[in-house]
Amino acid sequence: MRKILVTKQLEFDKSSFLIDLIEHDNGSLYIEILQRIRSEKSDGQTIKINPSILMDIVNVLLDFHEKIPNKRLDGVLHFTENDKKNVQDRYLKGVPTQDLALQYETSATIIEMILRNRGIVVMKDVEPEKK
């Protein structure tokens, strides 16, 4: 039996990722990444990573990222940690997710995912009734 300790979800234009920290019956931990591509009918592809090699994989990915020319990354939807904090701060001040989506040129679903990943409960955008 396995127990999911933490889950994070990443949403992009054509695919989504579920990243879980999992504890196995014997107490060992591992990371499981599930990618679902929207255009495919399959349940997705899963990779399981032993935590002892996680930093090696991260370092390789960072190295590859540096080798990709900036012009190829222009169309990539990416929120920096500062962007995510700004989204959180604005949402907590009362800015609706739809307005945040317009400001960041993305969907309300992406904004909601960012907020949920930061531990914030997302409420439906409902206009107050006028009496």
pLDDT in tens, 101-126: 888 888 888 888 889 888 888 887 66
- How far apart are the C-alpha atoms of 130 and 98, rounded to whole Å? 21
Per-residue model confidence (pLDDT) at position 101: 87
Cβ-proximal residues to 44 (8 Å cutoff; 6+ apart), any chain: 34, 35, 36, 37
Q: Rounded to two decimals, what is the model's pTM? A: 0.56
Per-residue model confidence (pLDDT) at position 76: 46
Per-residue model confidence (pLDDT) at position 112: 86
- How far apart are the C-alpha atoms of 61 and 78, rounded to whole Å? 16
Per-residue model confidence (pLDDT) at position 92: 92
Centre a 10 Å sphere on the Cβ of residue 6 and count the other Cβ atoms it contains.
Answer: 9
Q: Which residues of the chain have pLDDT under 50?
A: 72-76
